[in-house]
Amino acid sequence: MPTVTYPRAARRRHDPIRLSVARELGHDIDGAWWPRNDRITNELPELIAVLRPLLGEVTSINVNWPPLQRPPEYNWPGWEGKRQHVMTIAGRDAHVNLLIVPYATYTALALMVLRRAANLPIDAADQAKPAFLTAGMILYAAQQQCAPIGSAKAKADLSGHSST
């Protein structure tokens, strides 16, 4: 079997972006991003590159938190009273609302938040696990923050039913 080598510059220096995006955009939360460290700007260029085919050329990035505000800590009680961090990335063709999963979140919970935020299928056996339930509460809190007052859309999205 031949050996394939790549020039050093062509090798990826970072692990892949941990991102989930729903098939259909336009919800209060369209997916989630789980950065690998607390400096999200380090991964932002790769995130934009991954989203470009979906969104078109990126025209703006907006966040719903002040620059020095730390994200909620999902591993311990108390996150419920804190603002969920959501980033909206707009492109020429579409925009996406991503729930930011804090980098230090336990793997099982972070992966469940990624799946639930993008409305991906989840095995029935996993739906009784604490990570599934906590991820649902996190997603619901983020949807409530983003939803217009009186909107039933967030509740319908969480349950998997359409509000229209």
159 in any annotated domain: no
Position 2 in a domain: no
- pLDDT of residue 63 exceeding 70, the answer is yes
Residue 2 has pLDDT above 60, yes or no: no
Give the 3-state secondary structure of residue 83. coil
Phi, psi of 116 (to 5 degrees): -70, -40
**How many domains is the chain partitioned into structurally?**
1
pLDDT of residue 148: 65
Percentage of residues in the chain with pLDDT exceeding 90? Answer: 68
Give the domain range for residue 109. 19-146
| Cα gap 4→71, rounded to integer Å | 42
User: Which of 37-41, 84-88, 111-115 has the least mean pLDDT?
Assistant: 37-41
Task: Establish if 153 belongs to a structural domain.
Answer: no
Give pTM, 2 decimals. 0.81
Asked if the structure places residue 65 within a domain, the reply is: yes
- The verdict on residue 162 lying in a domain is no
Residue 33: what are its φ and ψ, rounded to 5°? -130, 130
pLDDT (tens digit per residue) in 92-131:
999 999 999 999 999 999 999 999 999 999 999 999 999 9
Confidence of residue 13 (pLDDT cuts 50, 70, 90): low
Task: Report residue 163's pLDDT band, with 50, 70 and 90 as the boundaries.
Answer: very low
Give Cα 46 distance to the centre of its chain: 15
Q: What is the mean pLDDT of the chain?
A: 85
Is 7 within the bounds of a domain? no
Query: Is 64 within the bounds of a domain?
Result: yes
Q: Is residue 30 part of a domain?
A: yes
Average pLDDT in the 9-18 region?
Answer: 65
